[in-house]
């Protein structure tokens, strides 16, 4: 019994030594994180000409604006958590979204079955 305890202690000590990192010198302190901007950051800076967005021939080029000029709701469109929170507050919209998802699935299933029967 004593030999088992000694082996387990050696194994524990060995695993401790293998998982512990030893440094030769004191590590440099980590740099302070950069201050986050208050608002969201857009993917292109203000004044950037956005190509391919014009819908009329001869239209002036579309130029990106500063982030402050865009409405607040725009920054939550791609945020899944914000959209889920919005749907929780409005059960009618949540039911409509669920119904649309079910209808899309039915259409895809019916199209698949139609292809198989040809």
Number of domains in the chain: 1
> pTM score, two decimals?
0.45
In a domain, 4, yes or no: no
Domain that holds residue 72: 48-117
Report residue 17 CA to chain centroid gap: 38
Q: What pLDDT digit, counting tens, does each position of 10-50 carry?
A: 666 566 556 655 556 565 566 655 555 566 678 889 999 98
- HEC sequence for 1-35: CHHHHHHHHHHHHHHHHHHCCCCCCCCCCCCCCCC
Looking at residue 51, what is its pLDDT? Answer: 87
Mean pLDDT value across the chain: 80
| Residue 37 located in a structural domain | no
Largest CA distance in the chain: 91
Asked if the structure places residue 55 within a domain, the reply is yes
pLDDT score of 25: 59
Distance CA 17, CA 5 (A): 18
Q: Once rounded to an integer, what is the mean pLDDT over residues 93-116?
A: 96
Assess contact for 63 and 50: CB atoms under 8 A: yes
């Amino acid at each position: 019994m004593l030999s088992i305890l000694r082996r387990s202690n050696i194994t524990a000590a060995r695993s401790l030594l293998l998982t512990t990192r030893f440094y030769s010198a004191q590590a440099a302190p980590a740099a302070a994180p950069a201050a986050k901007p208050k608002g969201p950051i857009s993917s292109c800076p203000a004044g950037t000409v956005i190509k391919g967005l014009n819908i009329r021939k001869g239209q002036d080029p579309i130029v990106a604006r500063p982030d402050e000029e865009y409405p607040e709701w725009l920054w939550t469109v791609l945020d899944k958590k914000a959209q889920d929170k919005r749907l929780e507050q409005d059960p009618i919209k949540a039911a409509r979204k669920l119904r649309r998802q079910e209808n899309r699935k039915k259409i895809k299933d019916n199209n698949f079955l139609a292809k198989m029967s040809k």
